[in-house]
Amino acid sequence: MASDGKKKKSGGGKKKRAELAARLDALQAEVATLDAALRELAPEPAASAPVAPPAPTAKPAKAAPQVSPLAPAAFPALPPVAGVRFAAGEAGVRYKGRKDVMLAMLAAGSVVTGVFTRSSTRAAPVRWCETLRDAPGVKGAQAILVNSGNANAFTGRSGAEAVEALAAAVSAATGAPKSGVWMASTGVIGEALPHERIAARLDELNGALSEDAGESAARAIMTTDTFPKGASEVLALDGAKVTIAGFAKGSGMIAPDMATMLGFVFTDAAIDRDLLRRMLAEASDRSFNAITVDSDTSTSDTVLVAATGKAAMDPIASRRDPRAAAFAEALERVLRDLAQQIVRDGEGATKLVAVTVTGAKSARAAKKVGLAIANSPLVKTAIAGEDPNWGRIVMAVGKSGEVADRDLLSIRFGDITVAEAGWVSPGYQEADGAAYMKRDELEIGVDLGVGTGSATVWTCDLTKRYIEINADYRS
């Protein structure tokens, strides 16, 4: 009987364990269900199983940036420029799933010149282009190669070697001499340029060249830009049709001298190279060098102008030529249009602001005062908050270091006189100023009352979005 008793006890224990195991399985299933529900609400890696960091080369997908509210309705229809062809492709320099390299080919006989950043930490491509600009021009075909995602700046010997290697690769692919290969890079500073990836795409780019690929080329050079930027002018010079067309990129690190901006302008005009260089420098001072987003000057700023000479005209050889002024004015309009689009695309910008200073000792002094206002974080954040805080403009004028007379100073918002004769204007109403500040495009006027110098600069507001974009730039 004893043995029978042991068997019954053992059988009962097995049954109990089975019941407990079933209950445990049910509880575990319920826990798993609840855990899954929690993960859907607030996903996070389990503490007991940490997620391994991504490989260094893997870049998490980012949502497309929201297009600036100040952007034009669409990219303009750029007219073809005789003697110029473009192609764009994906080299995977930094970005995945988008074009990041642009090749422009210029017909034999073209002249090219440029203006560049004055930064003491200029990028390797900038130094290369400065050498080309100061050397005798080439007679054969020329090329412009641009990549985005990597600035090839502060990269030591490897940066210069990358430029040399790419110049040789472009020459081999296109037939242009190395001395006729211009380059520009934009993107992250301090990382070696994976130039082999670019070189591997050159044959493909050379085979895809087209005079109608301007927009594709403009998109390929974008970094934090939210829209591509293009502009053009068509004019008649002594009965000859002349076209000027170009594109640019830039959104942050925008401040004279130029900024993190690249600009490429093409014309079929026939013009002397040295004269074109002087015209470009003067026009840049009143356009690309008169804009600011954040007062930071880039290592990579480059503006190139190429003239193919394909228009049916005799060359413009000097300033005395009556056609020179008309061409210079049209060139400046194109550059100013591109420059203002860069400000419209200022990182996080919601307002475009023109600051005009008059009554200064000189044009140089007026521009310096204008930039002091345009670069002031206090002024820019007040604009973002739609606060007509004109006292901050008074502050910025005072800190500029230029001559100003408190009792002669006047300030206006658009047509509204805010302050004059050293005090708030008797007719000024704060409500009028607040209503004006709600506009997307603003004009701030300052008269110093001490001379005849004047200048206009362009800027944008400074918002929380600017911080978010730049805090997340490399992540």
Residue 44 has pLDDT above 50, yes or no: no
What confidence score (pLDDT) does residue 320 get? 97
pLDDT in tens, 83-94: 999 999 999 999
pLDDT, average across residues 263-285:
98
Token code pair at residue 434: 């607040």
Q: Domain 84-344 is of which CATH architecture? A: 4-Layer Sandwich (3.60)
412: exposed, middle or buried (Cβ count in 10 Å: 0-12, 13-18, 19+): buried
Lowest mean pLDDT among 17-31, 189-203, 374-388, 407-421: 17-31
Lowest mean pLDDT among 14-18, 203-207, 445-449, 453-457: 14-18
Residue 297 has pLDDT above 90, yes or no: no
Q: What is the residue-averaged pLDDT of the chain?
A: 88
Confirm or deny that 223 is annotated as ligand binding. yes
pLDDT in tens, 120-177: 899 999 999 999 999 998 989 999 999 999 999 999 999 999 999 999 999 999 999 9
Give the pLDDT band of residue 260 (cuts 50, 70, 90).
Answer: low
What confidence score (pLDDT) does residue 100 get? 98
Residue with the bigger pLDDT between 8 and 278: it is 278
Residue 61 has pLDDT above 80, yes or no: no
Confirm or deny that 475 is annotated as ligand binding. yes
C-alpha 449/C-alpha 129 separation (Å) is: 43
Which residues, listed in sequence order, are joined to residue 336 by a DSSP beta bridge?
none
Asked if 84-344 and 352-471 have one fold, the answer is no
What confidence score (pLDDT) does residue 8 get? 41
pLDDT in tens, 198-225: 999 999 999 999 999 999 999 999 998 9
pLDDT, average across residues 406-435:
97
Residue with the bigger pLDDT between 15 and 387: it is 387
Q: What strands, in cross-sheet order, belong to the sheet with 423-424?
A: 423-424, 416-420, 410-413, 441-447, 352-360, 453-460
pLDDT in tens, 394-418: 999 999 999 999 999 999 999 999 9
Residue with the bigger pLDDT between 79 and 119: it is 79
What is each CA distance from 374 to 152, 310, 350, 353, 467, in whole angstroms?
A: 29, 41, 15, 8, 18
Q: Which of 248, 126, 135, 225 is nearest to 182 (CA)?
A: 126
Token code pair at residue 341: 């689009």
Q: Which of 117, 260, 267, 297 is catalytic?
A: 260
Contact 471, 381 (CB under 8 A): no
pLDDT in tens, 307-331: 999 999 999 999 999 999 999 999 9
Question: In Å, how far from its chain's centre is CA 42?
Answer: 36
Q: What percent of the chain has pLDDT over 70?
A: 83
- Over its C-alpha atoms, the chain yields an Rg (Å, rounded) of 30
Q: Which of 100, 181, 171 is nearest to 143 (CA)?
A: 181
Lowest mean pLDDT among 7-21, 204-218, 338-352, 441-455: 7-21
Confirm or deny that 174 is annotated as ligand binding. no
What confidence score (pLDDT) does residue 231 get? 99
The answer to whether the bond into 257 is cis (omega within 30° of 0) is yes
Residue 276 has pLDDT above 90, yes or no: yes
Positive or negative: CA dihedral 116, 120, 124, 129: positive
Instruction: Answer yes or no: 260 catalytic.
Output: yes
Lowest mean pLDDT among 10-19, 355-364, 415-424: 10-19
Contact 290, 457 (CB under 8 A): yes
User: What are the boundaries of each domain within the chain?
Assistant: 9-45, 84-344, 352-471
C-alpha 370/C-alpha 455 separation (Å) is: 7
Confirm or deny that 347 is annotated as ligand binding. yes
What does the buried/exposed string (b/e) look like for 237-256 if buried means 16 or more CB atoms within 10 Å of the residue's CB? beeeebbbbbbbbbbbbbbb
Tell me the whole-structure pTM to 2 decimals.
Answer: 0.83
Residue 48 has pLDDT above 50, yes or no: no
C-alpha 217/C-alpha 236 separation (Å) is: 27
What confidence score (pLDDT) does residue 63 get? 60
Contact 247, 78 (CB under 8 A): yes
Give the pLDDT band of residue 283 (cuts 50, 70, 90).
Answer: very high
Q: Which of 37, 470, 57, 84 is nearest to 305 (CA)?
A: 84
**Is CATH 3.10.20.340 the right assignment for the domain spanning 352-471?**
yes
Write the CB contacts of 287 (distance below 8 Å, at least 6 apart in sequence).
Answer: 332, 335, 336, 338, 339
What confidence score (pLDDT) does residue 345 get? 93
Q: How many CB atoms lie within 10 A of CB 214?
A: 30
What confidence score (pLDDT) does residue 46 get? 39
Lowest mean pLDDT among 62-71, 130-139, 259-268: 62-71
First to last CA, the chain: 77
pLDDT, average across residues 265-270:
99
pLDDT, average across residues 165-193:
97
Q: How many CB atoms lie within 10 A of CB 358?
A: 18
Contact 340, 425 (CB under 8 A): no
